[in-house]
Protein backbone atom coordinates (compact mmCIF):
# COMPACT_ATOMS: atom_id res chain seq x y z
CA UNK A 1 0.00 0.00 0.00
CA UNK A 2 1.18 3.52 -0.74
CA UNK A 3 0.53 7.00 0.62
CA UNK A 4 1.01 10.59 -0.46
CA UNK A 5 2.34 13.28 1.91
CA UNK A 6 2.02 16.95 1.07
CA UNK A 7 3.37 20.17 2.57
CA UNK A 8 0.92 22.78 1.29
CA UNK A 9 2.91 25.99 1.49
CA UNK A 10 1.85 29.51 0.57
CA UNK A 11 4.75 29.88 -1.87
CA UNK A 12 5.90 26.32 -2.54
CA UNK A 13 4.47 22.81 -2.44
CA UNK A 14 6.40 19.68 -1.54
CA UNK A 15 5.03 16.18 -2.08
CA UNK A 16 6.34 12.67 -1.52
CA UNK A 17 5.19 9.14 -2.22
CA UNK A 18 5.89 6.58 0.49
CA UNK A 19 5.42 2.88 0.94
CA UNK A 20 3.33 1.66 3.87
CA UNK A 21 3.64 0.49 6.55
CA UNK A 22 7.40 1.10 6.70
CA UNK A 23 7.34 4.64 5.31
CA UNK A 24 10.14 4.25 2.77
CA UNK A 25 10.16 7.33 0.54
CA UNK A 26 9.92 6.32 -3.12
CA UNK A 27 9.89 9.72 -4.76
CA UNK A 28 9.62 13.41 -3.98
CA UNK A 29 8.74 16.51 -6.01
CA UNK A 30 7.71 20.12 -5.57
CA UNK A 31 6.43 23.21 -7.34
CA UNK A 32 5.39 26.81 -6.85
CA UNK A 33 1.90 27.37 -5.47
CA UNK A 34 -0.26 28.34 -8.50
CA UNK A 35 -2.38 30.63 -6.31
CA UNK A 36 0.45 33.19 -6.22
CA UNK A 37 -1.17 35.19 -9.02
CA UNK A 38 -3.76 36.22 -6.42
CA UNK A 39 -1.08 37.47 -4.03
CA UNK A 40 2.31 36.52 -2.66
CA UNK A 41 1.13 36.06 0.93
CA UNK A 42 -1.84 34.69 2.84
CA UNK A 43 -3.23 38.16 3.64
CA UNK A 44 -3.50 39.04 -0.06
CA UNK A 45 -5.15 35.74 -0.93
CA UNK A 46 -7.58 35.92 1.96
CA UNK A 47 -8.52 39.43 0.89
CA UNK A 48 -9.13 38.24 -2.67
CA UNK A 49 -11.15 35.21 -1.50
CA UNK A 50 -13.28 37.04 1.04
CA UNK A 51 -14.43 39.54 -1.59
CA UNK A 52 -15.24 37.05 -4.33
CA UNK A 53 -16.67 33.54 -4.18
CA UNK A 54 -15.48 33.07 -7.75
CA UNK A 55 -11.88 33.84 -6.76
CA UNK A 56 -12.12 31.42 -3.83
CA UNK A 57 -13.43 28.75 -6.19
CA UNK A 58 -10.63 29.35 -8.70
CA UNK A 59 -7.93 29.25 -6.02
CA UNK A 60 -9.37 26.01 -4.66
CA UNK A 61 -9.46 24.45 -8.12
CA UNK A 62 -5.90 25.60 -8.83
CA UNK A 63 -4.44 23.99 -5.74
CA UNK A 64 -6.45 20.79 -6.10
CA UNK A 65 -5.30 20.43 -9.71
CA UNK A 66 -1.69 21.11 -8.78
CA UNK A 67 -1.72 18.52 -6.01
CA UNK A 68 -3.18 15.97 -8.40
CA UNK A 69 -0.53 16.89 -11.00
CA UNK A 70 2.26 16.41 -8.46
CA UNK A 71 0.75 13.06 -7.46
CA UNK A 72 0.68 11.98 -11.10
CA UNK A 73 4.32 13.00 -11.46
CA UNK A 74 5.27 10.93 -8.42
CA UNK A 75 3.32 7.94 -9.75
CA UNK A 76 5.19 8.09 -13.05
CA UNK A 77 8.56 8.48 -11.32
CA UNK A 78 7.98 5.51 -9.02
CA UNK A 79 5.89 3.38 -11.42
CA UNK A 80 3.05 3.22 -8.88
CA UNK A 81 -0.52 3.42 -10.24
CA UNK A 82 -2.65 6.20 -8.74
CA UNK A 83 -5.36 3.75 -7.53
CA UNK A 84 -2.70 2.08 -5.34
CA UNK A 85 -2.37 5.27 -3.26
CA UNK A 86 -4.73 4.60 -0.37
CA UNK A 87 -3.90 7.44 2.03
CA UNK A 88 -3.10 11.14 1.63
CA UNK A 89 -1.95 13.50 4.40
CA UNK A 90 -1.93 17.26 3.78
CA UNK A 91 -0.33 19.84 6.09
CA UNK A 92 -0.78 23.54 5.42
CA UNK A 93 -1.43 26.79 7.22
CA UNK A 94 -5.10 27.59 7.98
CA UNK A 95 -5.55 29.85 4.95
CA UNK A 96 -4.21 27.22 2.55
CA UNK A 97 -6.31 24.44 4.10
CA UNK A 98 -9.48 26.55 4.05
CA UNK A 99 -8.94 27.48 0.41
CA UNK A 100 -8.20 23.86 -0.49
CA UNK A 101 -11.60 22.89 0.95
CA UNK A 102 -13.23 25.99 -0.60
CA UNK A 103 -14.44 27.05 2.82
CA UNK A 104 -15.41 30.64 3.69
CA UNK A 105 -12.33 32.54 4.90
CA UNK A 106 -13.98 35.52 6.60
CA UNK A 107 -13.13 34.26 10.10
CA UNK A 108 -9.45 34.13 9.10
CA UNK A 109 -9.41 37.44 7.24
CA UNK A 110 -10.77 39.49 10.16
CA UNK A 111 -10.22 39.56 13.94
CA UNK A 112 -10.03 37.41 15.95
CA UNK A 113 -8.53 35.39 13.02
CA UNK A 114 -9.90 31.97 13.86
CA UNK A 115 -10.18 28.88 11.62
CA UNK A 116 -13.58 27.28 11.18
CA UNK A 117 -12.30 24.14 12.88
CA UNK A 118 -9.18 23.31 14.88
CA UNK A 119 -9.04 19.50 14.81
CA UNK A 120 -7.92 17.41 11.85
CA UNK A 121 -10.31 16.57 9.03
CA UNK A 122 -10.91 13.19 7.41
CA UNK A 123 -12.37 13.16 3.90
CA UNK A 124 -12.14 11.27 0.64
CA UNK A 125 -10.34 11.95 -2.61
CA UNK A 126 -13.72 12.32 -4.32
CA UNK A 127 -14.61 15.24 -2.03
CA UNK A 128 -11.60 17.10 -3.45
CA UNK A 129 -12.54 16.25 -7.02
CA UNK A 130 -9.94 13.54 -7.46
CA UNK A 131 -10.53 10.13 -8.94
CA UNK A 132 -9.99 7.06 -6.78
CA UNK A 133 -11.10 6.42 -3.24
CA UNK A 134 -8.05 7.31 -1.15
CA UNK A 135 -8.60 8.54 2.41
CA UNK A 136 -7.44 12.15 2.89
CA UNK A 137 -6.41 13.71 6.19
CA UNK A 138 -5.87 17.43 6.83
CA UNK A 139 -3.77 18.30 9.86
CA UNK A 140 -5.20 20.22 12.84
CA UNK A 141 -5.15 24.04 12.87
CA UNK A 142 -4.63 25.10 16.52
CA UNK A 143 -5.67 28.69 15.88
CA UNK A 144 -4.95 32.00 14.16
CA UNK A 145 -2.46 31.38 11.38
CA UNK A 146 -0.81 28.48 13.20
CA UNK A 147 -1.83 25.47 11.18
CA UNK A 148 -1.28 21.95 10.03
CA UNK A 149 2.23 22.54 8.73
CA UNK A 150 3.40 23.59 12.21
CA UNK A 151 1.70 20.60 13.82
CA UNK A 152 3.28 18.28 11.24
CA UNK A 153 6.72 19.81 11.76
CA UNK A 154 6.60 19.34 15.53
CA UNK A 155 5.04 15.90 15.22
CA UNK A 156 7.98 14.87 13.04
CA UNK A 157 10.43 16.15 15.62
CA UNK A 158 8.64 14.23 18.39
CA UNK A 159 8.64 11.04 16.34
CA UNK A 160 12.36 11.43 15.66
CA UNK A 161 13.04 12.03 19.39
CA UNK A 162 14.17 15.64 18.94
CA UNK A 163 11.24 17.10 20.87
CA UNK A 164 12.34 16.98 24.48
CA UNK A 165 10.79 18.30 27.65
CA UNK A 166 13.53 20.93 27.99
CA UNK A 167 12.74 24.36 26.46
CA UNK A 168 13.22 24.35 22.69
CA UNK A 169 12.38 26.67 19.82
CA UNK A 170 11.07 25.51 16.43
CA UNK A 171 10.91 27.75 13.36
CA UNK A 172 9.31 27.15 9.97
CA UNK A 173 10.60 30.13 8.02
CA UNK A 174 8.14 30.24 5.16
CA UNK A 175 5.84 32.96 3.87
CA UNK A 176 3.62 32.37 6.87
CA UNK A 177 6.48 32.09 9.36
CA UNK A 178 5.41 29.78 12.20
CA UNK A 179 7.24 29.86 15.52
CA UNK A 180 6.78 27.37 18.36
CA UNK A 181 8.37 27.38 21.80
CA UNK A 182 8.02 24.06 23.61
CA UNK A 183 8.20 23.84 27.38
CA UNK A 184 6.99 20.67 29.07
CA UNK A 185 3.51 19.81 27.83
CA UNK A 186 2.82 23.29 26.48
CA UNK A 187 3.56 24.44 22.95
CA UNK A 188 3.51 28.24 22.74
CA UNK A 189 3.02 29.12 19.09
CA UNK A 190 2.52 32.09 16.84
CA UNK A 191 2.72 33.06 13.19
CA UNK A 192 4.54 36.07 11.77
CA UNK A 193 3.65 37.35 8.31
CA UNK A 194 7.19 37.18 6.97
CA UNK A 195 6.28 37.30 3.29
CA UNK A 196 7.81 35.04 0.64
CA UNK A 197 11.36 36.46 0.58
CA UNK A 198 12.87 33.53 2.50
CA UNK A 199 11.50 31.17 -0.17
CA UNK A 200 12.74 33.29 -3.08
CA UNK A 201 9.38 35.01 -3.66
CA UNK A 202 9.02 38.76 -4.14
CA UNK A 203 12.72 39.02 -5.04
CA UNK A 204 13.73 40.40 -8.43
CA UNK A 205 15.46 37.16 -9.44
CA UNK A 206 14.08 34.88 -6.73
CA UNK A 207 12.94 31.33 -7.34
CA UNK A 208 12.26 28.10 -5.48
CA UNK A 209 15.16 25.83 -4.58
CA UNK A 210 15.04 23.98 -7.91
CA UNK A 211 17.72 23.16 -10.53
CA UNK A 212 19.30 26.34 -11.80
CA UNK A 213 18.77 28.25 -8.57
CA UNK A 214 21.84 29.86 -7.05
CA UNK A 215 22.30 28.07 -3.73
CA UNK A 216 25.43 29.81 -2.42
CA UNK A 217 27.04 33.22 -2.90
CA UNK A 218 30.51 33.98 -1.57
CA UNK A 219 32.48 37.19 -2.06
CA UNK A 220 36.13 36.15 -2.16
CA UNK A 221 38.36 39.18 -2.43
CA UNK A 222 36.99 41.03 -5.44
CA UNK A 223 35.33 37.99 -6.96
CA UNK A 224 31.84 36.56 -6.46
CA UNK A 225 31.76 32.77 -6.36
CA UNK A 226 28.46 30.99 -6.98
CA UNK A 227 27.07 27.50 -6.55
CA UNK A 228 23.86 26.38 -8.25
CA UNK A 229 21.50 23.50 -7.62
CA UNK A 230 22.26 20.83 -10.19
CA UNK A 231 25.52 22.60 -11.13
CA UNK A 232 23.65 24.27 -13.99
CA UNK A 233 23.68 27.79 -15.43
CA UNK A 234 22.13 30.24 -12.91
CA UNK A 235 18.57 31.27 -13.68
CA UNK A 236 17.61 32.71 -10.28
CA UNK A 237 18.39 32.67 -6.59
CA UNK A 238 16.76 30.70 -3.78
CA UNK A 239 15.91 32.20 -0.40
CA UNK A 240 18.86 30.84 1.57
CA UNK A 241 21.34 32.15 -1.00
CA UNK A 242 19.63 35.56 -0.94
CA UNK A 243 20.20 35.67 2.82
CA UNK A 244 23.82 34.58 2.33
CA UNK A 245 24.25 37.35 -0.25
CA UNK A 246 23.05 39.94 2.27
CA UNK A 247 25.47 38.52 4.85
CA UNK A 248 28.32 38.85 2.35
CA UNK A 249 27.30 42.41 1.43
CA UNK A 250 27.29 43.34 5.12
CA UNK A 251 30.60 41.60 5.73
CA UNK A 252 32.30 43.50 2.89
CA UNK A 253 30.66 46.81 3.82
CA UNK A 254 28.73 46.97 0.55
CA UNK A 255 25.53 47.28 2.58
CA UNK A 256 25.01 49.37 5.71
CA UNK A 257 23.34 48.01 8.88
CA UNK A 258 20.33 50.14 7.93
CA UNK A 259 19.97 47.98 4.83
CA UNK A 260 21.11 50.68 2.39
CA UNK A 261 23.18 49.40 -0.51
CA UNK A 262 26.16 51.68 -0.96
CA UNK A 263 26.65 53.54 -4.24
CA UNK A 264 29.50 52.40 -6.47
CA UNK A 265 31.42 55.65 -5.78
CA UNK A 266 31.61 54.68 -2.09
CA UNK A 267 33.37 51.37 -2.82
CA UNK A 268 37.16 51.50 -3.25
CA UNK A 269 37.52 48.00 -4.74
CA UNK A 270 36.58 46.49 -8.09
CA UNK A 271 33.36 45.28 -6.47
CA UNK A 272 32.09 48.79 -7.20
CA UNK A 273 31.48 47.60 -10.76
CA UNK A 274 28.75 45.30 -9.47
CA UNK A 275 26.76 48.15 -7.95
CA UNK A 276 24.71 50.34 -10.26
CA UNK A 277 21.42 52.20 -10.58
CA UNK A 278 18.61 49.95 -11.79
CA UNK A 279 15.07 51.25 -12.28
CA UNK A 280 15.60 54.05 -9.82
CA UNK A 281 17.34 52.07 -7.09
CA UNK A 282 20.74 50.59 -6.35
CA UNK A 283 21.31 46.96 -7.30
CA UNK A 284 24.10 44.44 -6.82
CA UNK A 285 24.96 42.17 -9.75
CA UNK A 286 25.10 38.56 -8.60
CA UNK A 287 25.52 37.03 -12.06
CA UNK A 288 25.58 38.20 -15.64
CA UNK A 289 25.92 36.43 -18.99
CA UNK A 290 24.88 37.15 -22.56
CA UNK A 291 21.24 36.25 -21.94
CA UNK A 292 20.48 37.28 -18.35
CA UNK A 293 21.42 39.45 -15.43
CA UNK A 294 20.62 38.37 -11.87
CA UNK A 295 20.44 41.17 -9.31
CA UNK A 296 19.81 41.75 -5.64
CA UNK A 297 18.15 45.16 -5.51
CA UNK A 298 17.56 47.63 -2.71
CA UNK A 299 13.91 46.54 -2.69
CA UNK A 300 14.98 42.90 -2.33
CA UNK A 301 17.02 43.78 0.76
CA UNK A 302 14.03 45.61 2.20
CA UNK A 303 11.89 42.50 1.70
CA UNK A 304 14.46 40.44 3.62
CA UNK A 305 14.55 43.08 6.36
CA UNK A 306 10.76 42.99 6.74
CA UNK A 307 10.77 39.20 6.84
CA UNK A 308 13.54 38.89 9.39
CA UNK A 309 12.10 41.68 11.52
CA UNK A 310 8.76 39.87 11.71
CA UNK A 311 10.33 36.52 12.61
CA UNK A 312 12.62 37.96 15.30
CA UNK A 313 9.79 40.03 16.80
CA UNK A 314 7.60 36.93 16.90
CA UNK A 315 10.33 35.02 18.75
CA UNK A 316 10.68 37.86 21.25
CA UNK A 317 6.93 37.86 21.93
CA UNK A 318 6.90 34.10 22.63
CA UNK A 319 9.93 34.46 24.89
CA UNK A 320 8.12 37.20 26.80
CA UNK A 321 4.77 35.39 26.98
CA UNK A 322 6.22 32.05 28.08
CA UNK A 323 8.67 33.55 30.56
CA UNK A 324 11.46 31.38 29.15
CA UNK A 325 14.70 33.35 28.56
CA UNK A 326 16.83 32.85 25.45
CA UNK A 327 19.60 31.35 27.56
CA UNK A 328 17.26 28.57 28.77
CA UNK A 329 16.63 27.23 25.26
CA UNK A 330 18.19 23.79 24.96
CA UNK A 331 17.58 23.42 21.25
CA UNK A 332 16.61 25.49 18.20
CA UNK A 333 15.31 23.60 15.17
CA UNK A 334 14.84 25.32 11.83
CA UNK A 335 12.99 24.19 8.72
CA UNK A 336 11.60 25.76 5.56
CA UNK A 337 11.64 25.72 1.77
CA UNK A 338 14.29 28.38 1.42
CA UNK A 339 17.06 26.20 -0.01
CA UNK A 340 19.47 23.41 0.65
CA UNK A 341 21.10 24.94 3.72
CA UNK A 342 20.71 27.94 5.98
CA UNK A 343 23.65 28.38 8.35
CA UNK A 344 22.91 29.61 11.88
CA UNK A 345 25.64 32.24 11.68
CA UNK A 346 23.87 33.82 8.68
CA UNK A 347 20.71 34.19 10.74
CA UNK A 348 22.70 35.75 13.56
CA UNK A 349 24.36 38.14 11.10
CA UNK A 350 21.04 39.42 9.75
CA UNK A 351 19.52 39.60 13.24
CA UNK A 352 17.00 36.75 13.30
CA UNK A 353 18.69 34.85 16.12
CA UNK A 354 19.99 35.97 19.48
CA UNK A 355 23.72 35.33 19.90
CA UNK A 356 23.07 32.97 22.81
CA UNK A 357 21.15 30.63 20.49
CA UNK A 358 23.90 29.93 17.98
CA UNK A 359 25.47 26.84 19.51
CA UNK A 360 22.14 25.01 19.80
CA UNK A 361 20.74 25.51 16.30
CA UNK A 362 20.31 22.84 13.68
CA UNK A 363 18.47 22.69 10.38
CA UNK A 364 16.10 19.90 9.36
CA UNK A 365 14.94 19.88 5.73
CA UNK A 366 11.31 19.24 4.78
CA UNK A 367 10.10 19.47 8.37
CA UNK A 368 6.35 19.49 7.67
CA UNK A 369 6.62 16.94 4.87
CA UNK A 370 8.61 14.55 7.06
CA UNK A 371 6.06 14.95 9.83
CA UNK A 372 3.22 14.13 7.44
CA UNK A 373 5.09 11.01 6.31
CA UNK A 374 5.65 9.84 9.88
CA UNK A 375 1.99 10.42 10.76
CA UNK A 376 0.99 8.21 7.82
CA UNK A 377 3.17 5.38 9.11
CA UNK A 378 2.00 5.60 12.75
CA UNK A 379 -1.05 3.43 12.09
CA UNK A 380 -3.19 5.22 14.69
CA UNK A 381 -5.48 7.11 12.29
CA UNK A 382 -3.63 10.30 13.24
CA UNK A 383 -4.64 10.18 16.92
CA UNK A 384 -1.08 11.11 17.93
CA UNK A 385 -1.30 14.16 15.69
CA UNK A 386 -4.63 15.16 17.26
CA UNK A 387 -3.15 14.86 20.74
CA UNK A 388 -0.26 17.12 19.77
CA UNK A 389 -2.66 19.66 18.28
CA UNK A 390 -4.37 20.00 21.64
CA UNK A 391 -1.09 20.99 23.34
CA UNK A 392 -0.82 24.28 21.41
CA UNK A 393 -1.36 27.64 23.09
CA UNK A 394 -1.58 30.19 20.27
CA UNK A 395 -0.31 33.73 20.87
CA UNK A 396 -1.69 36.31 18.39
CA UNK A 397 0.67 39.03 17.14
CA UNK A 398 -1.74 41.34 15.33
CA UNK A 399 -2.30 44.51 17.34
CA UNK A 400 0.18 43.42 20.03
CA UNK A 401 2.20 46.48 21.14
CA UNK A 402 5.21 44.36 22.06
CA UNK A 403 5.32 42.81 18.59
CA UNK A 404 5.15 46.22 16.93
CA UNK A 405 7.88 47.55 19.20
CA UNK A 406 10.17 44.56 18.60
CA UNK A 407 9.49 44.60 14.85
CA UNK A 408 10.73 48.18 14.55
CA UNK A 409 13.66 47.38 16.82
CA UNK A 410 14.82 44.52 14.60
CA UNK A 411 14.30 46.05 11.13
CA UNK A 412 17.95 47.07 10.85
CA UNK A 413 20.74 44.52 10.57
CA UNK A 414 22.97 44.14 13.64
CA UNK A 415 26.20 46.09 13.74
CA UNK A 416 28.96 43.48 13.14
CA UNK A 417 30.01 41.66 16.32
CA UNK A 418 27.12 43.18 18.29
CA UNK A 419 23.62 41.84 19.06
Q: 388 by DSSP, 3-state: which? A: helix
Phi-psi region of 12 (alpha: psi -120 to 50; beta: other; left: phi over 0): beta
Per-residue confidence (pLDDT) for residue 356, from 0 to 100: 62
- Judge whether residue 177 has pLDDT over 90: no
What pLDDT shows up at residue 419?
Answer: 42
pLDDT in tens, 239-281: 889 999 999 999 999 999 999 999 999 999 999 999 999 999 9
pLDDT at 418: 42
Q: Which domain holds residue 155?
A: 2-163+367-390
If you ran DSSP here, which 8-state letter would residue 415 be given?
Answer: P
Residue 167 has pLDDT above 70, yes or no: yes
Asked, for residue 334, whether it belongs to a domain, the answer is: no
Average confidence (pLDDT) over 299-319: 94
Write the pLDDT tens digit of every residue in 325-350: 888 887 888 887 665 567 878 888 89
CA max distance for the chain: 66
Whether residue 234 is contained in a domain is answered as no
Distances (CA, A) of 204 to 37, 289, 292, 300: 16, 17, 12, 7
Write phi, then psi, for 8 (nearest 5 degrees): -90, 90
pLDDT at position 164 is: 55
The mean per-residue pLDDT over the stretch 406-413 comes to 94
Strand, helix or coil for residue 241:
helix
The pLDDT mean for the chain works out to: 91
Name the domain count of the chain.
1
- Examine residue 99 and state whether it is found in any structural domain, yes or no: yes
Q: 372 and 91 in contact (C-beta within 8 Å)?
A: yes
Query: Would 140 be classed as within a structural domain?
Result: yes
Residue 79 belongs to some domain of the structure: yes
C-alpha span between 270 and 254 (Å, rounded):
12
CB 124 within 8 A of CB 62: no
Look up the CATH number of the domain holding residue 68. 3.30.420.480
Q: List the end-to-end C-alpha distance of the chain, in Å, as a whole number.
A: 52
Element at 73 (helix H, strand E) = helix 53-78
Q: Is residue 100 part of a domain?
A: yes
Is 91 a member of any domain? yes
pLDDT digits (tens, 9 = 90+) for 389-402: 999 999 988 878 99
Beta bridge pairs of residue 345: none
- Specify if 411 maps to a domain: no
Instruction: Name 381's Cβ contacts closer than 8 Å, sequence gap at least 6.
Output: none
Work out the average pLDDT over 224-232. Answer: 93
Amino acid sequence: MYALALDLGTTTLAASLIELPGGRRLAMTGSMNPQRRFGADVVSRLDAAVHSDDVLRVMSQLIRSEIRRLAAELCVTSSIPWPDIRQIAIAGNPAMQHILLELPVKTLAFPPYRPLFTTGRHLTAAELGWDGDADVYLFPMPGGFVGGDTVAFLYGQLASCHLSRTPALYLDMGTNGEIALVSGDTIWATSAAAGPAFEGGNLSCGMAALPGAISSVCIDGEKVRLTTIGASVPIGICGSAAIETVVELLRHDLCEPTGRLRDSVEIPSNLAGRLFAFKGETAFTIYRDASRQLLLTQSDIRQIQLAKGAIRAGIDVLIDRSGIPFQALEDVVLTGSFGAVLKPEWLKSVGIFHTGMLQDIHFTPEGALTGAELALTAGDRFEGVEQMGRRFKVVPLSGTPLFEQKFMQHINFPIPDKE
